[in-house]
Structure formats: structure tokens, C-alpha cells
């Protein structure tokens, strides 16, 4: 059964992504902020999904607000996050919270789900609007190369287990649509239903790659004062072969 992106997947997302090093990413971001002289007390985590990175920001002692476009993902996040973490449904291009933060984050190539430069520009503008003067945006994006060559042999598959003990079989295939200049992932999952049977679903996810040359005019237009585009985990300048970049932009 075909489902909209990040709907059925929400229930098994954390099982499949159990090895993601959210704690290392948080240290990477917060180290950069501290080295830049920023005292971070509050953070806005955009496209927070099921809250893996959000939780690490809270564990670092920050007041955190998470925003995501998927109510299903936020429902899972609400179960894993402390009550003092605020969660809101919102579109990255249009959200308005009426407050500003020391740090705004958007990780795990979430911005690549914005399929036009205009849409990404709108999102960067909303991020800038939610930063206090001197605040920091930290986000990552897959480059054009990264989206074209997402996985070796263009597929990943495996077996995972949910917290309640159900097995999840997944097979995700990737193809590059050269005409549309988009990466397309067919995410198939087969999940135990708890009653001796199985449920199956497929979600189609599309991403556009963005290189540093694509990002810099958008950052300027969004009103950022200065920025660095680097690699993880050593903050090195990206090369032509870099599949994913991190952006640190100062308000």
C-alpha cells in the first residue's frame, strides 16, 4: 500500500534508524557554536521528525522547540521527549512561532525535501526570522553528487526491531530522475502486526541536491551576515566529491 511520505514510516522510523549518531551531530553543532562564542540556551529544531536530534539538544541543557510537517512523526516524538520540549506542526517554508532562539537546527538532509531553490530560500528566510541577533543556524544538505549517488548499488535493506518487539523488514531502492534532477527513494517496509500477520507499505521520497554555489545566494537573500560551509566531522572545506555539507550561518 502506498502512503504519503513520513506517515506510515513514523511507527518504524526509529527502529530502522537506530544507528544514527544524533549525539555526535549535536556535539558537532554545539562545539561549533561554543567555539564561535555563542552561549546557547534555546534551540529550535526544524524537521525534528521523531525527535532523535531534539532529544540530544535537550540533554545538553537547552530549552527546545521542535517543528515538523508530519503529525505522525510528531506523535512518536511526543512519546520519547520530555514534556517540557514543545512540539508544533509546521511547514518549513511558512511556519511562524512568534519567538526567536539562540540556535536553529535542521538535520539529516531534511532540507533536501524542498524540491525547488525558491522553496529552500523561503525556509532559510523563516529560519533567519526565528534567530535572535547573533544567533546561529546549523543544517546539513546532500549535494547534487550526494543525491545522484545516494547508496552503493542504489539500495539498502535489512531487518530491524521496534521497541515492542515487532520485526521490520525494509528494502529501500534509489534512482536518479535526470529529467527532473531529483533523487527518488521507494521505501518499502514489511512490519509484524502483533497478531501473527504482516503489514506492508511503500512511501516515495524525493530529494533535490544543493551544492555550496546553490546555497550561498540563498543565504545572502535570507539575510544571514556570514556563514561557513563545511564537512562533518572535521569542519574541513568541502570538495567536488563531498556528498553532504553542513552550513553554519550567523544572524
Structural domain boundaries, residue 228? 13-144+209-250
pLDDT tops 90 at residue 193: no
- Given pLDDT bands bounded at 50, 70 and 90, which one contains residue 196? confident
**Is residue 215 a contact partner of residue 244, using CB atoms and an 8 Å limit?**
no
Q: Determine, yes or no, domain membership for 5.
A: no
C-alpha cell at 80: 520519547
Q: Determine, yes or no, domain membership for 7.
A: no
Domain match, 140 and 77 both: yes
| pTM strictly above 0.75 | yes
Range from 79-83, 100-104, 131-135, 152-156 carrying the lowest mean pLDDT: 152-156
**Is residue 109 a contact partner of residue 141, using CB atoms and an 8 Å limit?**
yes
Give me the mean pLDDT over the 75-94 stretch: 98
Residue 79 belongs to a domain with what CATH number?
A: 3.40.50.150
At 58 the three-state DSSP class reads helix
Distance CA 44, CA 39 (A): 15
Domain match, 120 and 225 both: yes
At 73 the three-state DSSP class reads helix
C-alpha cell at 114: 524542498
**pLDDT per residue as tens digits for the range 143-191:** 999 999 998 889 999 999 999 999 999 999 999 999 999 999 999 999 9
Distance CA 49, CA 110 (A): 9
Q: What's the pLDDT score for residue 133?
A: 98
Q: Determine, yes or no, domain membership for 154.
A: yes
Domain match, 68 and 117 both: yes
Q: How many domains does the chain have?
A: 2
Residues 6+ apart with CB under 8 A from 210: 111, 112, 117, 120, 141, 142, 143, 144
The rounded mean pLDDT for the chain is: 97
**Is residue 251 a contact partner of residue 154, using CB atoms and an 8 Å limit?**
no
**pLDDT per residue as tens digits for the range 217-229:** 999 999 999 999 9
Amino acid at each position: 500500500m502506498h502512503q504519503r511520505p513520513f506517515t506510515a514510516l513514523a511507527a518504524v522510523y526509529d527502529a530502522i534508524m537506530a544507528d544514527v549518531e544524533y549525539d555526535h551531530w549535536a556535539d558537532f553543532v554545539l562545539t561549533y557554536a561554543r567555539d564561535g562564542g555563542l552561549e546557547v540556551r534555546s534551540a529550535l529544531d526544524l524537521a525534528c521528525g521523531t525527535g532523535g536530534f531534539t532529544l540530544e539538544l535537550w540533554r545538553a541543557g537547552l530549552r527546545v522547540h521542535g517543528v515538523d510537517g508530519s503529525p505522525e512523526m510528531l506523535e512518536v516524538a511526543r512519546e520519547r521527549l520530555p514534556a517540557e520540549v514543545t512540539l508544533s506542526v509546521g511547514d518549513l517554508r511558512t511556519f511562524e512561532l512568534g519567538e526567536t532562539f539562540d540556535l536553529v537546527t535542521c538535520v539529516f538532509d531534511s532540507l533536501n525535501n524542498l524540491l525547488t531553490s525558491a522553496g529552500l530560500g523561503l525556509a532559510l528566510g523563516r529560519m533567519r526570522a526565528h534567530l535572535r541577533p547573533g544567533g546561529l543556524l546549523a543544517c546539513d544538505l546532500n549535494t547534487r553528487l550526494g543525491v545522484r549517488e545516494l547508496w552503493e548499488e542504489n539500495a539498502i535493506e535489512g531487518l530491524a526491531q521496534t521497541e515492542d518487539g515487532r520485526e521490520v523488514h525494509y528494502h529501500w531502492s534509489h534512482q536518479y530522475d535526470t529529467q527532473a534532477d531529483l533523487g527518488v527513494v521507494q521505501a518499502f517496509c514489511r512490519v509484524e502486526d502483533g497478531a501473527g500477520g504482516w503489514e506492508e507499505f511503500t512511501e516515495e521520497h524525493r530529494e533535490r541536491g544543493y551544492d555550496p554555489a546553490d546555497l550561498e545566494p540563498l543565504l545572502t537573500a535570507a539575510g544571514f551576515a556570514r556563514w561557513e560551509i563545511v564537512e562533518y566531522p572535521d569542519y574541513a572545506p568541502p570538495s567536488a566529491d563531498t556528498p553532504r555539507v553542513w552550513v553554519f550561518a550567523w544572524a
